[in-house]
């Protein structure tokens, strides 16, 4: 995808998620609840299934009416699976939520392990505002490429 890219290299820690959500909101420059939900779910899966403290890379790009979220982690065998949680299950709904809001998603092997990605369609009026817009700059751990 072309367009501005937010790339954040960080450790998979629960306390990093709120700052990461703010970085995504800042990067896109518009309300982006669905994109933030996808980032949260993909990062949460790394925390739960790969392990707290695992290195990961989160990338968010926008181009041609689509936002793409990618999360790369070092564990190629911990593959996400879409579950059908029962009403009384306490977990297992994350990918179902992602599947509901994303137009498509998948997993790709890579040299670093694997990348789980999703794409969301963005309304044209929101796309007009995409890109870094705040003068204060991104949060300290963010790298824009």
Q: What's the predicted TM-score (pTM) here?
A: 0.80
Query: Among all chains, which residue has been given the structure tokens 């963005």?
Result: 122
Residue 43, Cβ neighbours under 10 Å: how many? Answer: 25
**CB neighbour list of residue 38: distance below 8 Å, 6 or more residues apart:** 69, 98, 101, 102, 118, 120
pLDDT category at 92 given cuts 50, 70, 90 is low
Query: Among all chains, which residue has been given the structure tokens 């709904």?
Result: 93
Burial class (CB in 10 A: 0-12, 13-18, 19+), 63: middle
**Mind listing the pLDDT tens digit for each residue in 40-90?**
999 999 999 999 999 999 999 988 889 999 999 999 998 887 777 666 766
Structural domains of the chain, count: 1
Backbone angles phi, psi at 78, to 5 degrees: -85, 80
For residues 8 and 5, give the distance between their C-alpha atoms in angstroms, rounded to a whole number: 10
Task: Give the angle subtended at the CA of 21 by the CAs of 1 and 77, to the nearest 5°.
Answer: 65
* CATH (domain of 108): 3.30.565.10
- What percentage of the chain carries pLDDT values higher than 90? 56
The boundaries of the domain holding residue 99 are 5-144
For the ranges 11-15, 88-92, 137-141, the one whose mean pLDDT is highest:
11-15
């Amino acid at each position: 995808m072309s367009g501005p890219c937010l790339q954040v290299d960080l450790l998979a820690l629960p306390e990093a998620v709120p700052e990461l959500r703010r970085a995504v909101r800042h990067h896109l420059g518009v309300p982006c609840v669905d994109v933030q939900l996808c980032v949260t779910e993909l990062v949460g899966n790394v925390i739960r299934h790969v392990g707290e403290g695992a290195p990961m890379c989160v990338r968010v790009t926008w181009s041609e009416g689509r936002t793409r979220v990618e999360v790369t982690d070092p564990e190629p065998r911990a593959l996400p699976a879409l579950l059908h949680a029962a009403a009384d299950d306490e977990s297992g709904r994350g990918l179902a939520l992602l599947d509901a809001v994303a137009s498509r998603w998948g997993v790709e092997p890579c040299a670093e392990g694997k990348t789980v990605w999703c794409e969301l369609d963005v309304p044209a009026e929101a796309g007009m505002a995409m890109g870094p817009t705040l003068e204060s700059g991104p949060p300290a751990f963010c790298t824009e490429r």
